């Protein structure tokens, strides 16, 4: 019997989940066992999982889970250096040269466990089977607009919080925008045809911000890209790789520019492939804007768990996309899970 163990997230401001009670009930109906850690912060109450037939276990008890349990979460594990003997389904951020990635892989190697990275669960066309992309783009654009509003008030953006739903977020932003003079602000979105780019574009268009949408044809020449500097907003919405060109080069802050806010929604500042070369660390909910130049201001927004700003919508969307793949977890040789295992084996062998 396959045993899926949904862990409680331990990161601040992380209230999302990758499995709803309805999804858990569907897995149980196929013969799986589903254990759910109690959590006061998860957007869906623990009681709803109990009603769906899940076993409820103490928060953060996954290290003591049966060895054959598959531990399922979204964000990072505690960085305590302990070996990891279980199979983990999560966003590992370990395959693109991230500074913490090697440490995580070393922990898996020491414990004999396996990372099945959610970012690399792909179908036979190479498309991800589940992603938070749309809501990451939507929320990332929203925080970037907040950064711009703060600039126009002579300030730097203060702390941000979750919203009940997308309509509440749009309404609050529209009210704040009406109180400042945003002039002819326009946005350029790279990755406009993907889920992240669509989310960012939809938020901008809902607020009346004109969008220039770019995708692979517009960036194929490899740069430079002076058009980016002619827009008040630049949104990086692509998954960077070794062939990705630099979109914003280190000299951009001092150049003549209309650019005021960079929303690096992809947010890989410590990756060797980072195409936004004016910053080196993620921003936070408490300090969402990193000011990289003062006059005129240029802020980078690079929060790496943006969908948590709309936790219920993003959780239900992601969980619905992922559920068919979770159902296939017991299948020996399932191509999606097998591909993730092979990728892990390739990278852990290099540690």
Q: Residue 234's closest CA among 276, 205, 271, 290? A: 276
| Residue 50: count of CB within 10 angstroms of its CB | 14
pTM of the model: 0.86
Query: Residue 18: pLDDT band by 50, 70, 90 thresholds?
Result: very high
**Contact (CB, 8 A) for 141 and 204:** yes
Compute the distance between CA of residue 97 and CA of residue 95 in angstroms, rounded to an integer: 6
Tokens of 97: 């040269």
- Say what percent of the chain tops pLDDT 90: 92
pLDDT for the residue 238? 94
Comparing CA positions, the residue from 340, 349, 285 lying closest to residue 128 is: 340
pLDDT in tens, 197-230: 999 999 999 999 999 999 999 999 999 999 999 9
Distance between CA 34 and CA 61 in Å, rounded? 14
Predicted confidence (pLDDT) at residue 272 exceeds the cutoff of 90:
no
Which is more confidently placed, 301 or 97? 301
Check 33, 60, 75, 293 and give the catalytic one.
75
Respond yes or no: is residue 75 known to be catalytic: yes
Active site residue 146: no
Tokens of 312: 């219920």
Count CB neighbours of 316 within 10 A. Answer: 17
- Whole-angstrom distance, CA of residue 106 vs CA of residue 84: 9
Sign of the alpha-carbon dihedral angle for 138, 143, 147, 150: positive
320 Cβ contact partners less than 8 Å away, ≥ 6 residues apart: 20, 23
Given the residues 93, 146, 231, 347, select the one marked as catalytic.
Answer: 93
Q: What is residue 274's three-state secondary structure?
A: coil
Q: How many other CB atoms are there within 10 angstroms of residue 215's CB atom?
A: 16
Non-local (6+) Cβ contacts of 147 within 8 A are 156, 157, 261, 288, 289, 299, 301
pLDDT at residue 315 tops 90: yes
287: exposed, middle or buried (C-beta count within 10 Å: 0-12, 13-18, 19+)?
Answer: middle
Task: Identify the CA nearest to 174 among candidates 194, 149, 199, 156.
Answer: 149
Residue with tokens 């009210």: 175
Model confidence at 129: pLDDT above 80:
yes
Mean pLDDT of 274-281: 95
Between CA 155 and CA 319 the distance in angstroms is: 38
The pair phi, psi for residue 131, each rounded to 5°, is -155, 150
Residue 98 scores a pLDDT above 90: no
Given pLDDT bands bounded at 50, 70 and 90, which one contains residue 271?
Answer: confident
Residues 140, 236: Cα–Cα separation, whole Å:
10
pLDDT at 99 over 90: no
The Cα 238–Cα 35 span in angstroms is 34
């Amino acid at each position: 019997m396959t045993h899926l163990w949904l862990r409680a997230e331990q990161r601040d401001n992380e209230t999302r989940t990758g499995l709803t009670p309805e999804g858990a009930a569907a897995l149980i109906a196929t013969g799986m066992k589903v254990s759910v850690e109690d959590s006061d912060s998860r957007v869906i109450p623990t009681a709803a999982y109990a009603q769906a037939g899940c076993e409820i276990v103490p928060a953060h008890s996954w290290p003591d889970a049966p060895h054959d349990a598959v531990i399922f979460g979204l964000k990072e594990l505690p960085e305590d250096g302990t070996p990891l003997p279980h199979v983990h389904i999560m966003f590992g951020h370990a395959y693109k040269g991230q500074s913490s990635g090697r440490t995580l892989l070393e922990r898996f190697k020491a414990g004999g466990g396996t990372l099945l990275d959610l970012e690399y669960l792909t179908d036979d066309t190479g498309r991800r089977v589940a992603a938070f992309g749309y809501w990451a783009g939507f929320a990332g654009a929203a925080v970037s607009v907040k950064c711009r509003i703060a600039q126009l008030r002579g300030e730097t953006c203060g702390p941000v919080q979750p919203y009940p739903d997308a309509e509440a977020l749009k309404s609050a932003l529209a009210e704040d925008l009406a109180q400042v003079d945003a002039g002819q602000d326009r946005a350029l979105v790279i990755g406009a045809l993907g889920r992240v780019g669509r989310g960012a574009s939809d938020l901008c268009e809902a607020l009346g911000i004109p969008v220039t949408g770019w995708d692979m044809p517009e960036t194929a020449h490899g740069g430079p890209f002076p058009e980016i500097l002619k827009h008040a907003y630049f949104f990086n919405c692509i998954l960077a790789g070794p062939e990705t060109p630099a979109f914003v080069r280190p000299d951009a802050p001092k150049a003549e520019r209309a650019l005021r806010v960079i929303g690096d929604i992809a947010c890989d500042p410590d990756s060797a492939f980072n195409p936004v070369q004016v910053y080196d660390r993620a921003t936070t909910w408490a300090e969402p804007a990193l000011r990289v130049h003062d006059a005129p201001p240029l802020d980078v927004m690079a929060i790496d768990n943006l969908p948590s700003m709309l936790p219920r919508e993003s959780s239900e969307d992601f969980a619905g996309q992922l559920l068919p793949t979770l159902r296939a977890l017991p299948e020996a040789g399932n191509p999606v899970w097998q591909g993730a295992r092979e990728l892990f084996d390739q990278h852990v062998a290099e540690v």
